[in-house]
Amino acid sequence: MPVARTRGAGARGAGLLGFRNARVRPSGSDPLLGGGTVGAVTEFQDRVKPLIVDVPGWLTDDEGEALYELARRCTGRGVIVEIGSWKGKSTICLGLGSRAGRGLRIVAVDPHADYRFGDFKLNVERAGIADLVTPVPSLSQDAAAGFDEPIELLFVDGSHVEDDVRTDFDQWVPKVVDGGWVAFHDTTWTPGPRRVVGERIYRSRNFKDVRFVPGSTTIARKVVRNSVSDRIRARYALAVKTGFWLVSTPLKKYRRILPKSVERFGRRLLRAMQ
């Protein structure tokens, strides 16, 4: 994935955004893990997916739904910050989730350079969330120094260089409120993010509700101190993620010829295991 330094990836505003009045059935599994009951139509699938299907990005539907749900559940104790926006795919998921919830502001930190910023603004405007999104044209390290607002949800999808990921963690995670959520993208196949979250989240005593969202996102709730059961659950989630990494790595080159039903079964299995 090309990166300069950072990139990325509604009910209340449904009329404005032109959502169809389809019957939406609740998901039978936790939306934070992405996906729902077989045959059910989730809010994300009905209202968000049509708006991001043509937006370039490296975000799976499961990951997009998890971001949507995390933003929707925010209570207003801080803003939502996205490190790495690229053309706005993840921004739209966060923004529409926020719109369906408390309407928190999304701070989108990214170099926002050249034609990509034009595409970003156009995609955000088409999704009807421009009023919620504050673009910050900056490298994440430079932006952190002057940012003093509390954060309730932090999504990190910036540089994959390990030192940069560690710096993003050190500079931005302390700004997340107690009980707030963090989400790191590209934590499966990419060494930098994988090592950092393995050490600083999955093996940490400062996070609970640690989960792996297929294909590469790690999410967790920040706490002052977690419990023994929280740490056991985190290690189990790490084992699930590691198993997915080991099995999927040799299969990636055959993904285009694998039946979609096989991929869907694999994702359902991963959700069921957590």
pLDDT at 232 over 90: yes
Q: What is the pLDDT of residues 240-269, one digit of tens each?
A: 999 998 888 877 776 676 677 766 777 777
Six token digits for residue 181: 């959520």
**pLDDT of 41:** 66
**pLDDT of 31:** 67
Cβ-contact 220, 182 below 8 angstroms: yes
Cβ-contact 241, 187 below 8 angstroms: yes
**pLDDT of 248:** 84
In a domain, residue 5? The reply is: no
Comparing 99 with 272, the larger pLDDT belongs to 99
Amino acid at 210: V
- CA dist 217 and 206 (Å) reads 18
Provide the domain limits for residue 164: 14-273
Comparing 267 with 226, the larger pLDDT belongs to 226
Cβ-contact 97, 72 below 8 angstroms: yes
CA proximity to 200, closest of 263, 147, 154, 243: 154
Comparing 42 with 36, the larger pLDDT belongs to 42
Distance, C-alpha 220 to centroid of its chain = 11
Query: Which residues is 5 bridged to in the sheet?
Result: none
Q: What is the pLDDT of residues 95-140, one digit of tens each?
A: 999 999 999 999 999 999 999 999 999 999 999 999 999 999 999 9
Mean pLDDT of the chain: 86
Six token digits for residue 259: 């039946």
CA proximity to 70, closest of 36, 39, 40, 93: 93
Comparing 16 with 89, the larger pLDDT belongs to 89
pLDDT at 38 over 60: no
Amino acid at 16: L
In a domain, residue 1? The reply is: no
Number of domains within the chain: 1
Amino acid at 186: D
**Half-sphere exposure in the Cβ direction for 135 (13 Å, CA):** 25
Q: What is the mean pLDDT of residues 228-246?
A: 95
**pLDDT of 25:** 36
pLDDT at 22 over 60: no
Q: What is the mean pLDDT of residues 164-182?
A: 98
CATH number at residue 187: 3.40.50.150
Which of 40-44, 86-90, 149-153, 259-263 has the weakest average pLDDT?
Answer: 259-263
Q: What is the DSSP letter of 45?
A: I
Burial classification of residue 16, based on how many CB atoms lie within 10 Å of its CB (0-12 exposed, 13-18 middle, 19 or more buried): exposed
pLDDT at 19 over 60: no
Please give the share of the chain, as a percent, with pLDDT higher than 70. 83
Six token digits for residue 41: 């139509």
Cβ-contact 133, 108 below 8 angstroms: yes
- CA dist 96 and 168 (Å) reads 25
In a domain, residue 19? The reply is: yes
Query: Which residues is 158 bridged to in the sheet?
Result: 6
**pLDDT of 215:** 85
Instruction: Report residue 34's pLDDT band, with 50, 70 and 90 as the boundaries.
Output: low
In a domain, residue 6? The reply is: no
Burial classification of residue 91, based on how many CB atoms lie within 10 Å of its CB (0-12 exposed, 13-18 middle, 19 or more buried): buried
**pLDDT of 15:** 32
In a domain, residue 9? The reply is: no
pTM: 0.84
- CA dist 61 and 48 (Å) reads 10
pLDDT at 5 over 90: no
Amino acid at 109: V
CA proximity to 49, closest of 107, 9, 104, 109: 9
Q: What is the pLDDT of residues 55-78, one digit of tens each?
A: 999 899 999 999 999 999 999 999
